[in-house]
Amino acid sequence: MEISVLQELRYAYRPKLPASLSQDIAGIGVEYGEPTESISDHEALRGLFKHTYGKPIVTFNRGRNPGIGHKLKAGVILSGGQAPGGHNVIAGLFDGLKKGNPESVLYGFLGGPSGLIGNKAVEITASMMDGYRNTGGFDMIGSGRTKIETPEQFASSLETATKLGLSAVVIIGGDDSNTNAALLAEYFLDRGSPIQVIGCPKTIDGDLKNELIEISFGFDTAVKTYSELIGNIERDANSAKKYWHFIKLMGRSASHIALECALQTRPNICLISEEVEAKKLSLKQIVDSLCDSIARRAANKENFGVVLIPEGLVEFIPEMKTLIEELNDIMAANEGEFAKVEKESFREIVAWLARKLSGPSESLFLSLPEEIAKQLLADRDPHGNVQVSRIETEKLLIGMVEKELEKRAAAGSYRGKFSALGHFFGYEGRCAFPSNFDADYCYSLGFSAFVLTAAGLTGYLSSVRNLSAPAEQWIAGGVPLTMMMNMEHRHGSQKPVIRKALVDLEGEPFKVFAQNRDAWALTTGYRYPGAIQYFGPPEIADITTATLRLEHR
């Protein structure tokens, strides 16, 4: 396979490590802190995780780790959606194992957690690893969204790990995947198995974070990729001066991506889902606010602009959330009846729903553009629920803004011109060449996972902190997975889960955004970040996100 010059140069890049991990490997010690507690629901979680609850935070420093030179066998899993840097986590784990003992072995489970359940694995060799260093994607071993949740799946996972003689299983994933890692660690211990389970924090959405996990890997690269594209569109908008661009961005559960891209590019408008929910803004209020900004810019002869929209916005709008919940319940309770009606015309489907929806939800549903209403009914997951991520929110807002501006024009309160284009930036950022930051961070996470394994620890998430400082000053260690958990209502019962981190409306990144957005709305002061830089001075090539810098300044 022919490779590009950049790909060849990225293969040769040597990721930077924290000082605690870059010293002679025999001199890496483990410092233990005080016992920890979960976020909430202490008694319930203590009961569910009898063997792994309350473990201490660990930090790596100079010292001795007797297990560091043992021959180990580890298995690694890529779980969930792709995120830039996943291959470097595997590289850090692989190099750590081989430095500790050249006879150590690393297996890659194919296709995600299902590879562990079904015993589909490949040994990762040096030549195989060298073909994926510092590259994007998860194509080295593939990923998957299978959850290990049934007794049979847990038993099969233990059987596979035992047959391969594994010392540890390393799961690279987001909050759900690492909740699975915690349950698997507990299961292994409960069955008397010494096989360890270690997690690594992955998600471009940025919602797996806390005071000890400052950022999930992939977020840095993804937002820089999206910000380059947004900057390009901003420059085009300011050149053509005739289009409003509505850009939907990844981030169903939280608006970290939208907020970071706003800080980097200074769009005219950026909606933050968490603020919409906190202020209980209706869809009409959001549309009116958009129209107000569009009208003010039109008064300045600027009939163009850029709007950023989080992917999960509709679930944070109170009446939309209620509508979606009602639709889910109606479909579940009337599955057979709906299957028959679904074959009829859309008008008859609407009439059938109107008899079952509450008054406010019926009015809202009828007010939606027909294309969006059809998406609410057609795109459903295996459980019959609305797949919110597939709703074209950008088109929904464009359609409603057009109608409202037409009313204002008829009333004489709007004299501008409105032409809009919709975009969705999602997959473009998930497999990009990782930034230097993500390449370094991911390699450090993988190497830390090895040290946790060598120390005989289980039920931990690999952690690297102090990330706004140069890499040599980063602090590596591990965080007990149960420390980040609470109980939540899922699928009809209380389940232990790692809590998602939403945008903090009292946090510094949102405050800086809020202080500037009124000026950005009225003036054309776009910022153009440009492409990710891999070469050059650290202040350009190794720069972190605005969010991380603001949170730790």
H or E element in which residue 106 lies: strand 105-109
> Where do the H-state alpha helices sit in 28-133?
42-48, 86-100, 113-117, 126-130
Provide the b/e sequence for 454-471 (b: ≥16 CB within 10 Å).
Answer: bbebbbbbbbbbebbeeb
pTM tops 0.85, yes or no: yes
d(CA 403, CA 553): 44
Query: Locate tokens 């149960």: which residue?
Result: 482
Q: In this structure, what is the dihedral angle of CA atoms 332, 337, 338, 341, given to the nearest 10 degrees?
A: -170
Compute the residue count for the chain.
553
Q: What is the dihedral of CA 47, 51, 53, 56, to 10 degrees?
A: 160
DSSP 312-357: THHHHSHHHHHHHHHHHHHHHHTHHHHHHHTTS-HHHHHHHHHTTS
Q: What is the pLDDT of residue 380?
A: 66
Closest CA to 33 of 453, 457, 440, 443: 457
Q: Give, to the nearest 10 degrees, the angle between helix 346-354 and helix 359-367.
A: 160
CA R_g for the chain: 25
Q: Specify whether the CB–CB gap between 217 and 442 falls below 8 A.
A: yes
Per-residue pLDDT, 432: 96
Q: Which of 175, 176, 205, 438 is catalytic?
A: 205
One-letter amino acid of 104:
S
Distance separating alpha carbons of residues 149 and 156, to the nearest angstrom: 11
Q: CA 239 → CA 65, 236, 304, 421, distances in Å? A: 60, 5, 10, 15
**Residue in 265, 263, 316, 280 with CA at minimum distance from that of residue 507:** 263
**Long-range contacts (CB closer than 8 Å, 24 or more residues apart) made by 186-189:** 186/48, 186/49, 186/50, 186/51, 186/52, 186/459, 187/154, 187/157, 187/158, 188/158, 188/161, 188/458, 189/51, 189/52, 189/458
Nearest to 108 by CA among 87, 84, 127: 87
Q: In the structure encoding, which two tokens stand for residue 115, read together?
A: 């590879």
Given this model, what pLDDT does residue 1 score? 64
Active site annotation includes 176 = no
Backbone angles phi, psi at 123, to 5 degrees: -75, 130
Spatial neighbors of 419 by CB under 8 A, at least 6 apart, are 242, 243, 244, 303
Class of domain 26-218+434-490: alpha beta
Return the HEC string of 421-468: EEEEECHHHCCCCCCHHHHHHHHHHHHHHHHHHHCCCCCEEEEEECCC
State the sign of the Cα–Cα–Cα–Cα dihedral 50, 52, 55, 57.
negative
pLDDT at residue number 342: 81
Q: What pLDDT tens digit does each residue of the chain (553 aa) get?
A: 688 999 999 999 999 999 999 988 999 999 999 999 999 999 999 999 999 999 999 999 998 888 899 999 999 999 999 999 999 999 999 999 999 999 999 999 999 999 999 999 999 999 999 999 999 999 999 999 999 999 999 999 999 999 999 999 999 999 999 999 999 999 999 999 999 999 999 999 999 999 899 999 999 999 999 999 999 999 999 999 999 999 999 998 999 999 999 999 999 999 999 999 999 999 999 999 999 999 999 999 999 999 999 999 999 999 999 998 898 888 888 888 888 888 888 889 889 988 999 999 999 998 888 888 888 887 666 555 677 777 899 999 999 999 999 999 999 999 999 999 999 999 999 999 999 999 999 999 999 999 999 999 999 999 999 999 999 999 999 999 999 999 998 767 899 999 999 999 999 999 999 999 999 999 999 999 999 999 999 999 999 999 999 999 8
- Count CB-CB contacts under 10 A for residue 21: 22
Same CATH topology for 26-218+434-490 and 219-282+298-308+412-430+501-553? yes
Burial class (CB in 10 A: 0-12, 13-18, 19+), 239: exposed
Domain residue ranges of the chain, discontinuous segments joined by +: 26-218+434-490, 219-282+298-308+412-430+501-553
Is CATH 3.30.750.24 the classification given to domain 219-282+298-308+412-430+501-553? Answer: no
Distances (CA, A) of 391 to 123, 314, 351, 396, 410: 41, 9, 22, 8, 30
**How many CB atoms are located within 10 Å of the residue 282 CB?**
15
User: What is residue 491's three-state secondary structure?
Assistant: coil
Q: Which residue has the tokens 């295996």?
A: 382
